[in-house]
Every structure is written in structure tokens, then in C-alpha cells.
A and B are shown apart, each in its own frame.
Chain A
Amino acid sequence: MNKTQNNKAWLLVLPVFLLVAFSAIIPLMTVVNYSVQDIFDQNSAYFVGAEWYREVLLDPRLHDSLLRQFGFSGAVLLIEIPLGILVALMMPTRGVMASLSLILLAIPLLIPWNVVGTIWQIFGRADIGLFGWALNNLGVDYNYAANPTDAWFTVLLMDVWHWTSLVALLCYSGLRAIPEAFYQAARIDRASKWAIFRFIQLPRLKSVLIIGVLLRFMDSFMIYTEPFVLTGGGPGNSTTFLSQTLTQMAIGQFDLGPAAAFSLVYFLIVLLVSWLFFTTITHLDNRK
């Protein structure tokens, strides 16, 4: 759309700017402020420059948690995006069944995150949970509270259960927007199922998939509540992701300086990856 140049449009944006600035800029400045000072109590704080940043960037605990975080977000994207597309392709297209499956699929999205954790905490237990009980009765030695592999498996399964629906619903709406004429043309050409998917459906899904991948990356990178409730980050530190390491530091140990420096590094990583991803996609888009 060709837009008109009009700086008065700022008046329409002003409320958003003020609101978000209040909840974003002031706290962010507080974080910046902490990150360069050593704070003993309310009256004595010393400027320490980049010391906290150096400490944080060299801290092995953070390296481990960052690696785990990338592993988790990567696995989440690799499983949820293809599975979401598949589910969307299988969904009924019209009638009562279409509405019904939409509603049922959307349920996990609207459950508070700690309840999601609670549901899986119960479900996976060998004594009172169906899943843990069934696995153990089948002869699988499964215990997410003691075995790191089982803990990872459960956290991933929980996230797939929780969020694949979002990808599926996005793709479903993308698929519904494809005009019937496209399929008719494909039938005339005797295109195979795969060809229809590859050359008609997938290209038309691109914009929704960008949204899906971005939302899933950002949210999985910030995950806190669900693994905290499910495993508490354990056994050991095996499922402690970035947000949890950060809250441990800031609230558990009250290391405000390093925690603030860590916050900023964390925020910058999310920004950088999202921005890289976004520009790559739009760049590829423009070249065509």
C-alpha cells in the first residue's frame, strides 16, 4: 500500500509509545544501571564498569545453560514445525468436525503455564500418573525426577504437547486461504500429493510459518514456568534453562550486578537471533 507521509500520525502512536516506554524503558534502564554497579545496600553503590559483564561472559554455569537453551529451542523448532504442518494437513476442512478439532487442539494453548507443568508432573509420575505408570508397566525404566534423559524427554514432550497446536492452527489458517482454483489446476496437471504440497501449499504457508517460527523461538527461549514446575531444573542442572539460571541469580542469590549484566546479554541474544532470522527471510523474499 502506498502510504501518505504524515508526521501527525505520531499522535496515534503516542499512547502505545508512552505505555510501552513506561513498562520497558524504565525497567531496562534500571537493569543497565545495576549492571555497571556493585550494590551493597540502598546507600552504597560503586561504579564497576564492565566487570560484571566480564564475569558473566566467563561463567561456565551460564555457558552450560546457554548450550542447553539452544539445544532445547532447536529441538522444539525441529519437532513442532513439521509436526504442526502435518497436523494442519490432516485437519478436517469443513463442518462440525472442523470446529471441534480446532477447539480441542487449542485447549493446551489456553492453560496457564504452571498448570501445564502440573499436568505433566502428575501424568509422568510412576505412582499416580498414567504415562509414567504405563511406561514402567511396559518395562521401560522411566523416572523424570532422577534420570536426566527422561527429564529432557518429558520436558520436550510437554512442550510439543503444549505448543504444536499453535503451529498447526497457524498453518491451518494459511491452508484455508489457498483458492480452490490452485488445486484444480494441479489436478489437471495430474500433480502428485507431494508436488501439491511442495509447490502449492508450502509456498503459501510461508508467511504463517515465519510467524510460527518466530513466536516459537522467542517463547521457547524464554521458557521458565513449565520446566520449573515439572523438574525444578533437575535432576542436577540438566533442565535448567536461561530464565531459570537468571532468576536463581537475581532472586535466589541476590547478585544484582551479574544478574543484570546477564539479563542484558540474554536479551541481546534473543534480539540478535530474531533479527537475523527475520532479515534472512525477508531478504530471500525480495530476491525472488
Chain B
Amino acid sequence: MPMTKTKTLGITLYILFVLTPIYWLLNMSFKTNEEITGDLSFWPKEFTFDNYMVIFTDPSWYMGYFNSMTYVALNVVITLMVALPAAYAFSRYKFLGDKQMFFWLLTNRMAPPAVFLLPFFQLYSSVGLFDTHIAVALAHCLFNVPLAVWILEGFMSGVPKEIDETAYIDGYSFPRFFVRIFLPMIRSGIGVSAFFAFMFSWVELLLARTLTSVEAKPIAAIMTRTIGATGVDWGVLAAAGVLTILPGLLVIWFVRNHVAKGFALGRV
């Protein structure tokens, strides 16, 4: 079939477009700085792990990864903990101000982080949370919680209400029903919400950088130090960049089977 061939060609070309800039970064991360700034070469001629060794042997480098991972994990846990009951309430009950509340939550997803930069800095400094992982995790909740509530509400509305009612008749208490019966039914929704929370927390830098200085500084902010007075240390910059891609790859690998259903946020 000629149609399938065109399709295969098209998607292959697009994926090549996606991968080429990443390949270039990977290529650079295995080169020495002399080779990078010298003649352009399509693969490393003097293959070296030195750039990676710089990162793996220096705590001020690798702690950046640890910091980023810590606040992202905290953020995912907090987001799910608060969003799950709220999404259940929105999908099952009518209550005073429910629609307004839902819209207000979504408006926070629309708030440009630049707007909150300074007030956040002052707020978290005044409560003594500045430069802690929890501060960044809480700040990222501002946009992750509304999104998670939105996604989970879609998935929960897909579960018939009769399930809840039958469980109550069978003598299940609400918490037991929620954890034992309801959560397993929407697990791909939970997976997708966690994925989105991870994604938007992992890639965000503006707030994370503003709320930290030393102890909780994210890796993405540490990368800027490769640009020094003597020029840019391209090799180490590239290696650090490659290492920030890996956690995302790992996460997408875990959710790959839920993507087809999950990315539609339970709304098709």
C-alpha cells in the first residue's frame, strides 16, 4: 500500500527531526573541548568519558540531580495526595461553589510563573522554607495540582456511580472503598497524573531557581556555571544536559502502555 509507505516515511522524518538536536548534544558530550571547538565532526574522534567524570566525581554537580529528584518526587506525592480526594468530590458531588472552585483552580494553571516570582521568594523566606526541597515542591503544586484534579476528574467520571453505591451497600466504609476498590479502577489515570506532575516539575526552572540558593539548587541551575570567565566548557555542559534527559526517558518508559488512553486525560 503506497499510503502506509508515505506514512512511514513521514513519521520517520519527523522522528529524525526530533532526534537530531539530541544526537548532537550526545555527540558533543563524548568529545574533548578541543575537538568541539575545532573542525565539525559527526561523531567523536577521541571518544572520552571525561565530561561525565567531572559530574560524577564532584558533589556540587551530582547533588544537583539529587536535589531536583527530591523536590520532583515530593511534588508528585503531594499533588496526588490532595488531588485524589478533591477530584472524587468534583466528579461525584454537587456542592456550594463547586463550579467556581474548579475554574479558580484552573486559573492557577494559567498564572505565568514570572508573576509569582517575587512574592514567592518573600513568602517562602518569611516562613523559613527558602532553599529547601519542600519549598520548590509546594511552589510547583500551584500548577500541578489543578492539572492533576482536572485529569483525575475526567478518569473518575468514567467510572459508573453504581460501583460506589454497591460498595457502600456491601458495608465498605468510604476510605476503605476509595483505597481498595476505586483507586485500582483509575490506576492509569493516576499514572498519567503522576507523569504530568513529574514532567512539569522536572522541566520547570524559573521558580526552582528563585526559591533555592545552595542546599536545594536544581541541576538545571547548576549547569550555568559551565559558562565561566575563560569561555564555555561545552563538553561538560553537554554531558550535564544529556544526564537531565535520562530520568524523563525512564518515566516515559514506565507509562508507555498507558499513554494511548492516558494522554486523552480520560476525556474521549
Which residues does A use to contact B, with CB under 8 Å? Answer: 1-10, 12-13, 15-17, 19-20, 22-24, 26-28, 30-31, 86-87, 89-92, 99, 101-115, 118-120, 122-123, 127-131, 133, 161, 165, 169-170, 172-174, 176-177, 193, 204, 207-208, 211, 218, 221-222, 224-225, 242-244, 246-247, 250-251, 256, 259, 263-264, 266-267, 270-271, 274
Contact = CB atoms under 8 A, between A and B. Distances in A.
Interface of B is mostly: helix
B61 to A, nearest CB: 15
A7 B257 CA distance: 38
B206 interface: yes
Interface of B: 3, 7-8, 10-11, 14-15, 17-22, 24-25, 28, 36-37, 40, 42, 78, 81-83, 85-86, 88-96, 98, 101, 105, 107-120, 122-123, 138-139, 141-142, 145-146, 149, 157, 161, 199, 202-206, 219-220, 223-224, 234, 237-238, 241, 244-245, 247-249, 251-253, 256-257, 259-265, 267-268
Given A15-B86, A104-B18, A111-B245, A26 B119 contact: yes
Given A23-B138, A28-B119, A5 B94 contact: yes
B112 A6 contact: no
A256 B105 contact: no
A243 B93 CA distance: 38
Nearest to B97: A10
A91 B18 CA distance: 14
A144 to B, nearest CB: 14
Contacts of A120: 21
B171 to A, nearest CB: 20
B94 A90 contact: no
Contacts of B145: 16, 19-20
B18 A86 contact: no
Contacts of B108: 20, 24
B86 A12 contact: yes
A130 B19 CA distance: 13
A176 B263 CA distance: 11
A123 B268 contact: no
A19 B205 CA distance: 21
A9 B18 contact: no
Contact of B18 (A161, A170, A174): A161
A1 B205 CA distance: 40
Nearest to A256: B118
B265 A211 contact: yes
Contacts of B98: 9
Given A31-B115, A274-B110, A110 B248 contact: yes
B249 A5 contact: no
Closest 9 A/B residue pairs (Cβ): A110-B248, A27-B119, A9-B93, A12-B89, A30-B119, A177-B268, A9-B89, A243-B114, A173-B264
A22 to B, nearest CB: 7
Contact of B114 (A106, A172, A204, A247): A247
A266 B115 contact: yes
A152 to B, nearest CB: 18
Contact of A115 (B11, B220, B256): B220
